[in-house]
Amino acid sequence: MKKIALSFILFGVLYFLESFTINFTNSNKPIPKNISILLTKHTCITCHNPYKRVVGPSFLSISKKKYNAEKIAALIANPQPTDWPGFPPMNPIKNVPFEDVKKIAKWINSLE
């Protein structure tokens, strides 16, 4: 009986974690699964949420800056705290492939 209860708890936790990384919504607009995978893989969702401020600005706020993929890649590798006053400085992340940045940037810029 305890094993069954533990299984349900574990399933519930795993279900919650999957929905946390994949099902952020704004007006019922889910994040595409391929983008959610990239945001999780590169730890973006640790500090950023698609539609609200967490540690860093929301991706929706970032979309308003109209950064292209090259600018986003540069800011990921070498963050500029002056671009985001009022937020803690982001640590540089130097190992995000440009192909992944292009996909993430395209999605970010589609959020308006």
Q: So what's the pLDDT on residue 23?
A: 44
User: Which of 105, 98, 20 has its CA nearest to residue 59?
Assistant: 105
User: Which of 100, 101, 66, 106 has its CA nearest to residue 83?
Assistant: 66
Specify the amino acid at residue 97. P
When mean pLDDT is compared across 21-25, 29-33, 60-64, 96-100, the lowest value belongs to 21-25
User: Which of 55, 49, 44 has its CA nearest to residue 25?
Assistant: 49
**Tens-digit pLDDT profile for residues 44-58:** 999 999 999 999 999
Q: Where are the domains of the chain?
A: 2-109
What is the Cα–Cα distance from 49 to 26, expressed in whole angstroms? 11
What is the Cα–Cα distance from 48 to 51, expressed in whole angstroms? 9
Q: What percent of the chain has pLDDT over 90?
A: 70
Q: So what's the pLDDT on residue 84?
A: 92
- 8 confidence band (pLDDT: 50, 70, 90): very low
**Tens-digit pLDDT profile for residues 87-109:** 999 999 999 999 999 999 999 99
Is the pLDDT at 15 greater than 80? The verdict is no
CATH 1.10.760.10 fits 2-109, yes or no: yes
